Structure 1
C-alpha cells in the first residue's frame, strides 16, 4: 500500500527510484515502520471452528481435502530500527538505515498431512509424496544504503545496496521420496509397504543456540545482538527501480527488490533422513499402540539413515517485483520546491494499477491492486486500494498519512471487510509509523 506514496520515505524501500516530496527525513528508532502481515491461501480459522455443519473433526477433514500442495501459509514482520534520508544540491536523494525482518513461508504438506491424519487404510495403492513438504523461515537484520537520481524532469532511477546479517534460518525444499501401501495376499502379510528414494533435508542456522538449555537469558540476548549486527552469517543484496513520466498526467514505475543471497556458514546444523525401505512383515495402520510404534521405529532405523551434519549452504532472498501505471488529475498549482525536479505539473489525485510478484520455492505469487490516491492538503493524504491475490478477491485497504509541521504519522491496513470477524480473514496486514520530515523553503 505504501508503493508510489511519495509523502512517505518508506515508499523508497519499495522502489529506490520513487519520487519524494520532502528533502530530509529522520525515522524515530523502532517506530518509523512497524509492519505485520499473515495469511493462508486455502483455508481460514472460520472454516474449522464455525458452528454447525458437522463436528470439528469433519471440518478439519474437509479443509484437509480442500487444500492442495500449492496452498501456503505465510507470516512477515518488519521493524525499522533506524532510518535517515537527505537531498543534495543536485537533487539526488540518499537513504540509509537498518531494519529487522522475519519471513516464514510454508507450503501445505498435502500427502504427509493426509497420511498422518487419516492413515493409509483407505489409500491402498496410492503414493504419498514427501516432496509436498517445503518451507523457508528466517530472521535477519538488513543494513542498507541507497540513492535516487533525477536523470531528467521525466525520468529518475535509484539503487540500494544491502548487507544481510542473519540471526536464524531454516530451509527445506526439494525433498523427495514416496510412501506406498499395496495388497500382498501371497506374502507373509496382507499388506506390503514401500518407502523409496526418500531424501529429506532440513537446513538450519542459529537453531542450536536457540535450543541450548544451558544458556542463560543474558547469553541468548548477547548472541542475538551479535548475530543481528554483522557477527553471524552474512549476505549481500540489491534493490533497483525507476519512475518515468511519458506525459505530465501519466506515471510508470517498476522495481526489483532483494536480488540477493545469504551464505549460511556459522551455527549450521543439517538434519537429513534418507534411504529406501520395503516390508511386508508389519501391518502399517494408523493409529497404533506404543509397542507397535516401537517395533515400526526399529525396522525404520535398520533401513533409513538419520544424520545430523554441519554443512554450509546458500539461501536466496525472495525476490520481489513491482510495477505500476497511474493517471493524475485535479492539478496542484502551488509553487514547486526549487530543490526538487521542476517543469512537471502536479496533481492532487491519482488513479492507478499496481502489479506485485514475489519468488517462492515453487514459483511466483502474484497480486494486482487498483488504487485511488488523494491529497487533501499539505497535511493530510489518503489512499484506498482493492487487491486480488492468492488469498482472496475482496481485499479493501486504506492508508492515511498526516503531517503536522515536521512530524509525520501514518497508518495502513488491508482486508478491512474482514475486520468485524478476523477468523474469516485469509490474510491481514497492518503498517504504522512516526518520523520527522523536513522540506527546504
Structure 2
C-alpha cells in the first residue's frame, strides 16, 4: 500500500529508486513503521473452530482433504527502530536506518499430516511424501543505507546496502522420503510397510542456547533474545535496487527488487537430521517349546535394533547459509488532474497531479518458487497535507483484496495508516489474510 507514495520515506524501502517529494525526514524511534501481516491459503480459523455443532475431527478431515501441499501459511512483521534521510546536492538523497523483521513461511505438510491423523488403512498402495515438509522462519535486525539519485527529469535510480544481524533462524527444505504400505498376498503377512530414501533435515540458529537442555529460564531466554536484537550472533549482507522512469509527464514505469542477500549462520547452530530406508512385513512371532531355562525371543527389541540400524537421527553443529526471501515489484502509474495552475512557473519543471492511477505486480521468492500478487490503485492528493489511496488486488490468499491508505501531514509531522484486505477485517476468523501498517515521522518538503 505504500509503494510509490512519493511523500512517505517508507516508499524508499520498497523502491530505493522511487521519486520522492521531500528533502529531509526522520522517524519517531520504534513508531515510524509498524507492520504486521498474516495469511493462509486454503484454510481459515473459521473452517476448523466455527461453533456450528459439527465434530472438530470431521472438520479437520475435510480441511486436509481440500487443501494441497502447495497451500501455505505466512507471517511477516516489521518494526522500524530508526530512520532518517536528507537531500544531498540538487539531485541526490541519502537515507539510512535500522529495522527488525520477523518472517515465517510454511507449506502445509499434507501427506505426513494425513498419515498422522488418519493412519494408512485407507491408503494402501499410496505414497506419503515427506517432501511436503518445507518451512522457514527468521528474526533479524537490518541495518541499511541507501542513495536515491535523479539523473534527469525522466530517470531516477536508487540502491540500498543492508547488513543483517541474525537473532533466530530455522529452515527445513528440500526434504525427501516416501512411506508406503502394500498388500503382500504371497508373503508371510498381509502388508509390507516401507520407508524409502528418507532425508529430513532441520537447521536452526539461535535456538540451542535457549532450549530447556541449556538450563535457561524463560526470563533469561527473553533477555537473551532482547540482547541479540541489536547485535546478533550471525551476520549477512544484502542489496536493494530500484528505478523510476517517466516516459511522459503523465505516465511512468517503475520497478525494484529487495533483499538480494544471504545470512551466514555460524554461532549457536544446531542441526537435526533423520535419514535412511527400511521395509518390514511386521513381527512374525514363533511359539516353540521352551525349557525352563530358555527365554522367549525378544521380538520388540530386535525390531527396535533393526529400526535404529536403518533409520537414523543425528544432531550436529554444521554452519549453513540462509538466502533471504527475495522480493520484486514492477508497476506503472498514470497521472491526471494537474495540481498546478497553467501560469505557475513549476508546471514545466515539476508537474504534479491530483489523481494517480497505477498497477503493481509483486512477488516473494519462497522454497518452491515465487508467490505473486497484483494490485490496481487510485491515489488521490486532496491537498498538500492529506492524501489517500484505494486499492484492489488479488494474490495467493484471496481474489478480492481491498486496501486503503491515508496520510496526514500537520506542518512537518506526518501520520499514516494502511490496511489491506478490508473484507477480512469484518470477520478475522473467516479471513485468509490481513495486514496493518502505521507510523509517525517528520517529513520536510521543499519550499
Counterpart of 2:444?
A: 438
1:150–1:341 contact (8 Å) kept in structure 2 = no
CA deviations on 1:122-148 (whole Å, 9 max, x unpaired) are 111111000010000000000000010
Residue 323 of structure 1, aligned match among 327, 330, 342: 330
Query: Does the alignment pair 1:375 with 2:410?
Result: no
Alignment of 1:104-143 (within 5 A): 104-143=104-143
Query: Secondary structure at the residue paired with 1:208?
Result: coil
Give the Cα separation in 2 of the matches to 1:366 and 1:5: 21
Alignment of 1:93-108 (within 5 A): 93-108=93-108
Alignment of 1:131-170 (within 5 A): 131-170=131-170
Residue 347 of structure 1, aligned match among 353, 367, 384: 353
Counterpart of 2:204?
A: 204
CA deviations on 1:92-122 (whole Å, 9 max, x unpaired) are 1111000000000000111101101110011
Counterpart of 1:417?
A: 423
Counterpart of 1:171?
A: 171
Counterpart of 1:400?
A: 406
Alignment of 1:7-406 (within 5 A): 7-52=7-52, 54-212=54-212, 214-216=215-217, 219-221=220-222, 223-282=224-283, 300-333=307-340, 343-406=349-412
Give the Cα separation in 2 of the matches to 1:297 and 1:83: 58
Give the Cα separation in 2 of the matches to 1:129 and 1:270: 22
CA deviations on 1:200-250 (whole Å, 9 max, x unpaired) are 000000111221452256653553345333441111000000011000000
Q: Structure 1 length as normaliser, TM-score?
A: 0.93
Q: Structure 2 length as normaliser, TM-score?
A: 0.92
Change in CA separation of 1:270 and 1:63 when aligned onto 2, cut-off 3 Å: same
In terms of mean alpha carbon deviation, does 226-235 or 54-63 score higher? 226-235
Change in CA separation of 1:282 and 1:65 when aligned onto 2, cut-off 3 Å: farther
CA deviations on 1:254-308 (whole Å, 9 max, x unpaired) are 001000011111111110000111111249xxxxxxxx99997665323211100
What residue ranges of structure 1 are gaps of 5+ in the alignment? 284-291
Q: RMSD value over aligned CA atoms?
A: 2.3
Query: Secondary structure at the residue paired with 1:209?
Result: coil
1:92–1:150 contact (8 Å) kept in structure 2 = yes
Structure of larger gyration radius: 2
Give the Cα separation in 1 of the matches to 2:107 and 2:315: 24
Give the Cα separation in 2 of the matches to 1:367 and 1:14: 15
Please report how far the alpha carbon of residue 60 of structure 1 lies from its aligned counterpart in structure 2 after TM superposition.
1.2
Give the Cα separation in 2 of the matches to 1:55 and 1:100: 41
Query: Secondary structure at the residue paired with 2:379?
Result: strand
Give the Cα separation in 2 of the matches to 1:333 and 1:320: 36
Query: Secondary structure at the residue paired with 1:17?
Result: coil
- How many residue pairs get aligned? The number is 432
What residue ranges of structure 2 are gaps of 5+ in the alignment? 285-298
1:349–1:374 contact (8 Å) kept in structure 2 = yes
Please report how far the alpha carbon of residue 190 of structure 1 lies from its aligned counterpart in structure 2 after TM superposition.
1.6
Give the Cα separation in 2 of the matches to 1:119 and 1:293: 21
Please report how far the alpha carbon of residue 352 of structure 1 lies from its aligned counterpart in structure 2 after TM superposition.
1.1
Counterpart of 2:289?
A: none
